[in-house]
Structure 1
């Protein structure tokens, strides 16, 4: 049986840092789903898509090329061969990601 640990809480409180540390210690795979919503927020901004435009956001989820790397206990997010780690860690991006994450249609599309 595969084991999964989920950590829930508000944006920016260190869930990803804790999860990354646990994954390293347990030698498990690590997925920071919050980063996925931040990536969508970043892409929406880059393509001038409103964060309430469900159809366009769902379309963005269809062709994501994302790589998560851990380097010196830091999560590196690579989108289309570009390191966007710092670009998605802003407070503005976190707020927009929170809006996007509350959209159930987008959430379902993202986990497909």
Structure 2
């Protein structure tokens, strides 16, 4: 099986880009961030505080997260419920960053992610795919953009959904999340040594997709 790992900070466009690249390459897209968000949503609904690692670790056994595809669209299933419409809020974003550092949470999803990659040609995006989840992936990308540009994109996305938000606060949240993700003890966000860096600040979506496909083709050709 051929695996493509895409890592990068919050708001870099990993999901959008990975979906489009997967469609062009006829790969399966695995949105690991959405799986973590589903777990974060579970704990928000349960009223569990992000700093309560003991309770979070204990309750992980009560959570089932899976991915289904309906008409080619990914559906994130939390304990039997499609939660696609509930996992993209700023509250869920911050909760995800806070709890994803816990070993029990990461272990919960690690095996499922590796099983998917062993069975299919996949593009998987997240924060530790190339470094931890799929260290043997043949193509690795580190996708980033400036905090200001990432905030602009997230603001536009929220406004289009009818959600009131403050672009300056979004930028502050993004910077805070970067700090958390890069400095956590377990699987911190960092560029894998063999990953190709793509800064999408001044690139269109299609330009980034093309750059990733070109990287894949060059890597696949060199390993053929």
TM-score bucket of the superposed structures, by smaller chain: 0.7 to 0.9
Contact 2:60 2:108 (C-alpha < 8 Å) held by counterparts: yes
Report the equivalent of 1:13. 12
Residues 36 and 100, structure 2, Cα contact 8 Å, conserved in 1? yes
Match runs of 1:3-82 below 5 Å: 3-70=2-69, 75-82=74-81
After superposing the two structures, state which structure 1 stretch, 54-63 or 44-53, moved more.
54-63
Q: Distance in 2 between matches of 1:57 and 1:71?
A: 31
Higher RCO, 1 vs 2 (CA within 8 Å, ≥6 residues apart): 2
TM-fit CA distance, 1:75: 3.7
Q: Cα gap change, 1:110/1:16 in structure 2, threshold over 3 Å: closer, same or farther? A: same
**Counterpart Cα distance in 2 of 1:24 and 1:41:** 28
- Cα deviation for residue 29 of structure 1 reads 2.2
Shift of 1:41: 1.0
Normalising by the residue count of structure 1, what TM-score does the alignment of the two structures yield?
A: 0.78
Cα displacement (A) at 1:23: 1.9
Please identify the structure whose Cα radius of gyration is greater: 2
- Aligned counterpart, 1:86: 85
How large is the Cα RMSD of the aligned pairs? 2.3
Q: Is 1:58–1:110's contact at 8 Å kept on the other side of the alignment?
A: no
Deviations, residues 19-71 of structure 1 (Å, cap 9, x unaligned)? 12222222222211111211111000111112222233234433433343455
CA 1:92–1:86 in 2, change beyond 3 Å: closer, same or farther?
Answer: same
Could you say which structure has the higher helix fraction? 2
Deviation at 1:15, TM superposition (A): 0.8
Segments of structure 2 that go 5 or more residues without pairing to the other structure are 112-224
Aligned-partner Cα distance in 1 for 2:105–2:98: 11
Q: Structure 2 vs 1, CA of residues 42 and 8 (structure 1 numbering), >3 Å: closer, same or farther?
A: same
SS in 2 for 1:86: helix
8 Å Cα contact 2:35/2:76 also seen in 1 = no
CA contact (8 A) 1:11 1:98 kept: no
Cα shift at 1:97: 0.4
- TM-score normalised by L of structure 2: 0.43
Distance of 1:26 and 1:49 partners within structure 2: 40
